[in-house]
Amino acid sequence: MNPINWKKALPIAAAILTFIVLALVYFSPVLDGKRLKQQDIVHYKGAAQEMVEHRDAFAGDEPLWTGSMFSGMPAYQIGVFWPANVLTWLNKAFTGFLPQPVSFVFLYLVGMFILLLCLRMDPWLALLGAVAYAFSSYFLIIIEAGHNSKAAAIGYMPMVLGGLYVLLHGRKLLGAALFALFLALEVHANHFQVAYYMGMLLVLYGLAEAVRAVREKRIADFAGRGALGIVGVAFAVLCNIGLLWSTMEYGVHSTRGKSELTINAQGQPDLDNKTGGLNRDYVTQWSYGKEESLSLLVPDVKGGASGSLLQSREDLDKITDPAFRKAVLAKYQAGGYVNNYWGDQAFTSGPVYIGAIIVLLMLLLLVRTQGPGRWWLLGSIPLVLILMAVGSPMIAGAVVIAYLLAG
């Protein structure tokens, strides 16, 4: 047995300890026994209460149907616990030793740290990169909202990409094992939107590597590594086949399925806004507008969190422009209020801000990137920005990962 290389192990151990301390400090009220009130989790607990009562009454037996939602629906879409699923216990190995929401910040940090180590980055520099990723504003905003499954999926996303990089550029069996494991955990997080966007990046990166392999006449080697990647995808899908199959089966009967209604509220044919599932307006109502996408660089380009601009006398005193101050006072004295947010969404808890310094570093990396990586980047970034404008703001985090992979 080879002795432990303490020179390599100590920085990694120090980074993990630093991540635990950072996450605990950021959410320090948990040390006093306090817990974050997450709106979606409050709603979830109400929806799952009937299931909890069933378990208590029948010695832990899992109910597969609940009457507390939509006049009855499959309970496995809400919160059935599958004790035999090994992925559940592997997920707890990453996050179960820390209370929520500390565990999500820790997962963000570790996820990016693993990716950067896979890219053979110095552990101390990888630590800084992990901090920059984890404390991107949107990743914290979703925790406040209670989007726990999305937070978990975002945490595992860098690990998946790191495993793929090792598979294509390093020890292929180790890379295949890491890729399969992390992808299985990604799907197990049960947020298919994040997994869908990550899949787009995987495909783009795979195509770029395929072109490189053809040019460098490494077709046979790439084909073997690619085959292992396909096996890894199959492994991840099969590990979650019950989850995927049941969701697909129920989806056609939910609002995600095709509607049988053909008229709108006015009795006219409803054709303009219809798709095979949800209306386009519904799908894009939480998408960032074109101008609001600048919040990646400028945090308050469309204001901050939704709500009154003035929360206290101190907020009023901060307004130094006399004309604006007079207009604001007139608005409040008339019984109205000035919204702190004026973007395209119905409301928001804050902007998607990666950081001006981080964006600058990404641009510098793009300038220094050589060969095919640069062209893959130039092709993927517009897609990422388009998806951000018409899809989900979490895709902003993929910009960081895209630049790192291109390096």
Cα-Cα-Cα-Cα dihedral sign, residues 49, 55, 58, 61? positive
Residue tagged 């590594």 (tokens): 225
- What CA–CA distance (Å, rounded) separates 189 from 195? 9
Predicted local distance difference test score (pLDDT) of residue 403: 43
The residue type at 359: V
Half-sphere exposure for 35 (CA within 13 Å, toward CB): 9
Query: What CA–CA distance (Å, rounded) separates 94 from 107?
Result: 7
Place of tokens 């869908």: 196
Contacts of 60 (CB under 8 A, 6+ apart): none
Rounded distance between C-alpha atoms, residue 398 and residue 49, angstroms: 36
CB atoms < 10 A from the CB of 324, how many?
11
How far is residue 199 from each of residues 158, 193, 203, 225, measured CA to CA in Å? Answer: 12, 10, 6, 18
Residue 8 to residue 132: CA distance in whole angstroms: 22
pLDDT of residue 293: 78
C-alpha–C-alpha distance, residues 165 and 156, integer Å:
15
Place of tokens 């907020």: 315
Phi, psi of 222 (to 5 degrees): -65, -40
Q: Are 69 and 79 in contact (CB under 8 A)?
A: no
Q: Are 242 and 224 in contact (CB under 8 A)?
A: no
SS3 (DSSP) at 397: helix
Indicate the residue type of 260.
E
Per the DSSP assignment, residues forming a β-bridge with 263 are 269
Contact call for residues 50 and 67 (beta carbons, < 8 A): yes
What pLDDT sits at residue 373?
Answer: 62
Q: Do residues 64 and 76 make contact, with C-beta atoms less than 8 angstroms apart?
A: yes
Distance CA 62, CA 39 (A): 25
Give the pLDDT score at 134.
Answer: 92
Taking the model in full, what pTM does it have?
0.83
Q: Report the distance separating Cα 161 and Cα 145, nearest Å.
A: 26
User: Hey, what amino acid is at 406?
Assistant: A
- Give the residue ranges of the chain where pLDDT is below 70: 1-5, 261, 264, 270-277, 280, 283, 370-381, 383-407
Q: Is 350 left (phi over 0), alpha (psi -120 to 50) or beta?
A: left
Under DSSP, is residue 108 helix (H, G, I), strand (E, B) or coil? helix
